[in-house]
Chains A and B, each alone.
Chain A
Amino acid sequence: MALDLDDEIDVLGAARHRSKQDEKYVIPENAPVLPSIVSGGRDAELMVNADGDAAVLYNQLLPEEIDWVEYDMDLALLTFVTYSGKVQGLGMKIHKPFRKYLSKAGEVMLIYMEDSKIPKDMYSAKLIIRNIGL
C-alpha cells in the first residue's frame, strides 16, 4: 500500500512552487536603467500633432530629469535618458500611427500633471530619431 505523504512537512515545497510574482526582477538601486515611466502606478500619455509637436504627460514625478529622448522607429520604442545617464523606457509601444508624426519631432515636452489634472512641471528635451529600416 502506497503511503499517503501529502500531509507531511514539505521543506522544499516553497522553492518548487515559487510563483511568478516572487520571481519578479527588482532593478538594483544604482542600476543605469530605471523602471519605465508607465510603471509603479504612474500613468503617461503621449501626444503628437500633425506638425510633429510632441508631449509626454505623466501623473507622478520622474526620479530624474530627462536630458534627451530617443525614438527607435525600428523597435517602436521611446527611451528617455536622464541627466545622470540612466535610461528609462516609456513603457508603451509606439504604435504605427505615431511614426509619421513623431519622426518629424525635434523635441518632446515633458509635462508633469499632478493628480492627472494640474500641469505642475514642464520642460522640453531634444528628440533623437533612430531608423535603420529593419
Chain B
Amino acid sequence: MDKTAALGVMTNSFYELEYRAQNPTQEEGFLADGKRAAAAGIAKTKAVADMGAVGLKLDKAPNVTKLVTDVAAKSTDVKPFADAIAQKYKQDPNFIEKLEADMGTNPQLAEQLQSQILKDQAQASQIISKYNGSNLAELVKPAPVAPKPSVQAKAPDTPSPVTVAASGVTQKKEAAPPAAATTAPAAKPETPSPAEIKVPPMPGEKVGVADIGKAAFAELANKSNSEIADFFTHGVTGKDGKIAQLGEGIAGQAAKYGVSASLIDGFEKRLSTDTKLQERIAENLKEHPDFVKRLAKMSSDESAPPDAQKTAIKKELEHMMSNPELLADKNHISGLEKKMEGGDFLSKIGDFFKNNMGFDLGGMMAGIGPALQEMMQKLMDMLGKLFGKSGISMASGNQDMGGNLRSQYELSSMKAMPTEGSLFREVKHGDKMVKEVNTIQVEGADGKPLDVIPTDGAIRVGQGANGDVRLRVAGSIGQDGDVKYTRDVYLSKNGFDTYKAEVAMRNAEVGVKDQKPQQTVHINHETGQEFEKSTPQQGSTQPSQDRMAQTFPVSNPGPVEVRPLSPLGG
C-alpha cells in the first residue's frame, strides 16, 4: 500500500469516528435512513477537514510521516494503525507534534515503534492510544502478550480475514468468531456501543489526495505567515504537489462561477505539469501570506456566490486561468491582495445590509462566507463613495436607474427601532383590529407635534439657519423593521434633539447620520444641456435630490461646475 492509499484509509477512520458521533443509535425506518444519510454526509465533510489538519501537521513532522509511509509500504492493510491515529488525534490534536519530537530525539525508539506496528498492528496501535507525549520509551518496551479472551465483546456478523503484515510479508489470520454465537439475541442492549453502530460506506466520490490537500490548504487561513512560508517550501512540485492541488482547488471554484471547462482544463494541466512554474508560484506565494490566507478562506467557502459578485470573480478567475504565470507574478498577486482587502467592516455588514437591497442583501450576506462578504463590502464602499458627493448623470431613457440605486443604498443602512419593545401595536378601527407602526411624537418645524418612526441610521439631509432639520426617516417598514420606503420630515431644533434622545435611549448603533448636501445635475444625452428632472424616484417616496434642494434650504449646494453648452454639446 502506498502513502496515498494509507491516507485514504485514515480518512475513512476519521469518517467512522465522526459518523458514530453523529448517529449514536441504530433506528429503523425511512426517517432513520434519511438521518443516516445526512450524518454520513456531515461525517465525510468533517473527516476530510480533519485529514487536512493532519496533513498539515504531517507536513512538518518528517519522522511521523516516514513512519506512516513505511508502515503503509510494508502492509496490505493499515486500518488498525489508521484507526488508532484518528482516535488519538481526536483526543489530543497535538499528539503528532509530540510524537515527532520524541522520535526526533530518540531514533531508536522510532525504529522500535515501527517494528512493533509492523509485527502486530492491532496490538501496537494500543501504543498510540496510550501515548501521552512523554511515555514512548515505556510503551515500546516488549511486553508479554496477554492471552486472548475466549469470547470477544463483538465482532462482525461474518468472519472476515484480518491482514497483518510483518517485515514485508503479508500474513492472514481469521477474525474472532461472532459474538452472536455466544450471546442470546434478547440480551442486545438498547443503546449500542460505538463499535456496534454500523457505518455506511462514505458517500459520494472517493476522497483523494487532492481533497485532503484542499482541506489542508483551507487550514492555512488561520496559520501564521512563517507557517505559510514553510508550507510552500517543500512538496510543491509534481502532479500531486501542493501547487497542483492549489490549481485543482482554484479550478473547483472556477467551475462554480461558470468559467469554461476548456480554460479550467488548460489551467489545471499547466499547474500540474510545469515544474518550473510550480516552483516560481510557490516562491511567490511564500511572499504573499495574506493572499494565501484569503484564498484558503475562499477554498473552504461552500456557499453560493452572490449574484453581485459572480461576474467580478469570474472575470478575475478567467484572467488568471488564461495566464497561469500570473500566480508567479509578484505585482499581480499584490494587486489581487489589494482587491480582496476590506475585512475590517465584517462585523458591521450583517446589520448594514439587513434591508432588502433588491437582491436580498440581508439574506445573501448571511448566506455567504467571509471571503465573499469582504469583496461585497468593497463594492458597497464604492457605492457609498459614489453617492457621498454631488455628481452629474446622463441617461438614455427615463427610468432613473441612478435614483433607484441611491434610494436602495440608503434604505439598506436604516432600521426601524421598537417602542416599548415592539415595532407595531394593535389598534381598533371600527370592529377590526389593525396593526400600526409604533411612532414617537416630536416637534415639527411648524411647532406642531409630528409622528415619526424612530429610525436607526436616519439621515440629516439639511439644516436651516434657525436650527430646523430636514430628516430622512423610515416611512414604511416590514415585519422585522426593514425600511421599505423613506420619508423626509421637517423638525424644529427641539424636535430634532428629542428625536436623537429617543433613538439613543433605544441603543441605536448608528443614530443620525449627516449627509452633506448633494446635488445631482442631469444632462440630456442628446443635447448635452442640463435639465431639471421631474420624474419622481421609484421605490421611494422621496423626491430627487435636486428638487429637494429647492424646497428646503441647504447650506452648500455642492461643488459641481456646469457651463452652458452648444446644442451639439461637447
Interface residues of chain A, those whose CB is within 8 Å of chain B, are: 38, 43-51, 53-55, 57-59, 65, 67, 76, 83, 91-93, 95-98, 100-101, 109, 111, 113-114, 116-124
Contacts and interface: CB of A to CB of B under 8 A. Distances in A.
Q: Which 8 A-B pairs have the closest CB atoms?
A: A95-B528, A118-B358, A43-B397, A123-B312, A49-B391, A116-B399, A45-B395, A49-B389
B538 A98 contact: no
B389 A97 contact: no
A65 to B, nearest CB: 5
Interface string B368-407: 0000000000010011011111111111110111101100
B307 A120 contact: yes
Nearest to A107: B382
A50 B389 contact: yes
B399 A55 contact: no
| Interface of B, helix, strand, loop or mixed by DSSP | mixed
Interface of B: 307-312, 314-315, 318-319, 357-359, 379, 382-383, 385-397, 399-402, 404-405, 408, 521, 523, 525, 528, 530, 538-539, 558-563, 565, 569-570
Nearest to A112: B311
B394 A45 contact: yes
Contacts, number: 157
Contact of A97 (B392, B402, B404, B538): B392
B391 A50 contact: yes
A48 B392 contact: yes
Given A47-B393, A67-B315, A119 B357 contact: yes
A98 B396 CA distance: 15
A71 to B, nearest CB: 14
Contacts of A46: 393-395
B396 A91 contact: yes
Contacts of B565: 95-97
A43 B408 CA distance: 19
A109 B539 contact: no
A59 B401 contact: yes
Given A95-B394, A100-B561, A121 B382 contact: no
Given A97-B530, A97-B563, A122 B394 contact: no
Contacts of A119: 308, 357-359, 405, 408
Nearest to B387: A49
Residue in B386, B390, B539 whose Cβ sees the most chain A Cβ within 10 Å: B386
Contacts of B399: 43, 59, 116-117
A92 B525 CA distance: 6
Given A49-B389, A98-B392, A122-B308, 5 more contacts: A45-B397, A50-B558, A53-B391, A57-B402, A93-B525
B404 to A, nearest CB: 5
Given A55-B386, A96-B528, A123-B312, A113 B401 contact: yes
Given A120-B307, A121-B308, A124-B379, A45 B358 contact: no
